[in-house]
Amino acid sequence: MDKLYEELIKYCEVECDIPFSKMTTLHLGGIVKYVVYPRNIIELGETMKTIKEFNVPYKVLGKGSNILCSDAKYDGVVIRLDRTFDDLYFDDDLCTVQAGLSIITVAYEAMKHGLTGLEFASGIPGSVGGVTYMNAGAYKSNMANVIEEVLIYRNDVFEWLRNEECGFSYRHSIFHEHPDWIIIAAKIRLQKGNETEIRELMDNRRERRLQTQPLEYPSAGSIFKNPEDKFAWQIIEELGYRGKWNGGAFVSDKHANFIVNAKNASATEFYELVCAIQKEAKEKLNRELVMEVEKFNWD
Ligand SMILES: Cc1cc2nc3c(=O)[nH]c(=O)nc-3n(C[C@H](O)[C@H](O)[C@H](O)COP(=O)(O)OP(=O)(O)OC[C@H]3O[C@@H](n4cnc5c(N)ncnc54)[C@H](O)[C@@H]3O)c2cc1C
C-alpha cells in the first residue's frame, strides 16, 4: 500500500478504487483512488491535514445527486460524511443537523416533531451539506429560507457562518466560490405546525413528483437552471429534444429537463447530449442554458 493510504487509515475508514457510478444518482463516472469516511471532527481535521501534506486533490461528496462525474479516473480523495455525520437535534423549533444526513430524513423528523418549513425539501434526494451548498429548493422555497447558521471547516478552523454570510441565491451559495471549505452542520429554523397537515402536504408533493418526474431512471434531477422568464423544459421541448437519445442517455419524455441514464450511458454520451441542447438553444433561440448539475473531473 502507498504512503498516503497508510496515513489516511490512521484517522478514518478508507476505501480504494471505488467508481463514482456507485456514489452518484446518475450512476456514472470513473474510478476514485481513495474514498474516506471520517467519523468526527477530530478525524476530519487530521484527514484534511494529511490530504494537504500530500498535496492531493479532494472533493466532498454528499449523496451525489447533483453531480456529473467524467469517465476518467480521479487520482484524489473523495470525502464522504453520509455514513458518519448524520446526527440531528431538536431544541424547540430549531433543528441542528450534521451535513451527512439526508434532507428527506430531516424533513420527516421535523414533521414528527410537528414542525413546518421543510416540506419543500421532502423529495430532494440530497444531504444537508449538498442542499446547503446548492441552496436547493422547490415549490417556491429553498434552504436559504430556513437555514440560520452553517458550521464550516476552512483554513484548519471550524466556525459558524450566519445565513447572510452564505451568499445564497438561486441554486447558488458562497460555497461554490470556496470548494475547499467543508460544510459540517446546519441550524435550521422551523415553525410550529400541525403534524397531520404537514404529512398531507408532503404526501401530495411526493405524489406530484412521482407523476411528473422520471424517478424510475438514474438522474441528477433538473439538468439546467430555469431562465428567469421560462422553464428550461419548455426550451428543450421547443428544440425538439424531448425523447431524444445519445447512446444510453435519454432526454426524458416525462420531464424534458431530466436527462436520464436509461441504458448504461457513459458520462461522455450523457454530456454530449447536454452540449447538443446548449448549442442548439444558443444557435436557434439565442438562449443560454446553464447547467444546474455540476460537472466534476472533466478536463
Ligand atoms: C430525482 C431528483 C430530484 C431532484 N429534485 C431537486 C429539487 O426539487 N430541487 C433541487 O434544488 N434539487 C433537486 N435535485 C438535485 C439535488 O438533489 C440537489 O442539488 C442536492 O442539493 C444535492 O445534494 P447532494 O448531497 O447529493 O450533493 P452532491 O451532488 O453530493 O454534491 C453537490 C455539490 O455540493 C458539494 N457538497 C456536498 N456536501 C458538501 C459538504 N458537506 N461540504 C461542502 N460541499 C459539499 C459537493 O462538493 C458538490 O460540489 C434532485 C435530484 C434528483 C436526482
Q: Residues 27-58: pLDDT tens digits?
A: 999 999 999 999 999 999 999 999 999 999 99
Pocket of ligand 1 (CB under 6 A): 25, 59-67, 81, 99, 124-127, 129-131, 133-134, 136-138, 175, 182-183, 213, 215, 219-221, 294
Mean pLDDT confidence for 129-149: 97
For residues 216 and 262, give the distance between their C-alpha atoms in angstroms, rounded to a whole number. Answer: 9
Instruction: Give the pLDDT band of residue 231 (cuts 50, 70, 90).
Output: very high
Calculated CA dihedral for residues 176, 181, 183, 184, nearest 10 degrees:
180
For residues 219 and 258, give the distance between their C-alpha atoms in angstroms, rounded to a whole number. Answer: 7
Name which residue sits closest to atom 39 of ligand 1, judged by CA.
Answer: 129
Residue 13 annotated among the catalytic residues of the structure = no
Ligand 1 pocket, mutate which of 83, 134, 260 (most atoms under 8 A from CB)? 134
Mean pLDDT confidence for 152-175: 97
Residue 171 annotated among the catalytic residues of the structure = yes
Please provide the average confidence, as pLDDT, over all residues in the chain. 97
**CB 203: neighbour CB atoms within 10 A?**
12
**Is it the case that residue 286 has pLDDT exceeding 60?**
yes
Distance of CA 66 from the midpoint of ligand 1 (Å): 4
- B/e letters for 42-57, b = 16+ CB within 10 Å, e = fewer, are ebbbbbbebbeeeeee
Distance of CA 293 from the midpoint of ligand 1 (Å): 8
Of the listed 171, 219, 252, 269, which one is catalytic?
Answer: 171
**CB 293: neighbour CB atoms within 10 A?**
21
Of the listed 70, 222, 252, 266, which one is catalytic?
Answer: 222
For residues 170 and 225, give the distance between their C-alpha atoms in angstroms, rounded to a whole number. Answer: 9
Per-residue pLDDT, 248: 98
pTM of the model: 0.97
**Is it the case that residue 64 has pLDDT exceeding 90?**
yes
Domains of the chain: 3-80 (3.30.43.10), 88-211 (3.30.465.10), 232-296 (3.90.78.10)
- Side-chain half-sphere CA neighbours of 192 within 13 A: 2
pLDDT, tens digit, 9 for 90 and up, residues 93-133: 999 999 999 999 999 999 999 999 999 999 999 999 999 99
Distance of CA 143 from the midpoint of ligand 1 (Å): 12
Distance of CA 106 from the midpoint of ligand 1 (Å): 15
**Is it the case that residue 2 has pLDDT exceeding 80?**
yes
Per-residue pLDDT, 1: 55
Residue 250 near residue 216 (C-beta atoms within 8 A): no
Of all residues in the chain, what percent carry a pLDDT higher than 70? 100
pLDDT, tens digit, 9 for 90 and up, residues 240-277: 999 999 999 999 999 999 999 999 999 999 999 999 99
Distance of CA 214 to the CA centre of its chain: 18
Residue 173 annotated among the catalytic residues of the structure = no
Per-residue pLDDT, 238: 97
Calculated CA dihedral for residues 79, 84, 85, 88, nearest 10 degrees:
160
pLDDT, tens digit, 9 for 90 and up, residues 185-210: 999 999 999 999 999 999 999 999 99
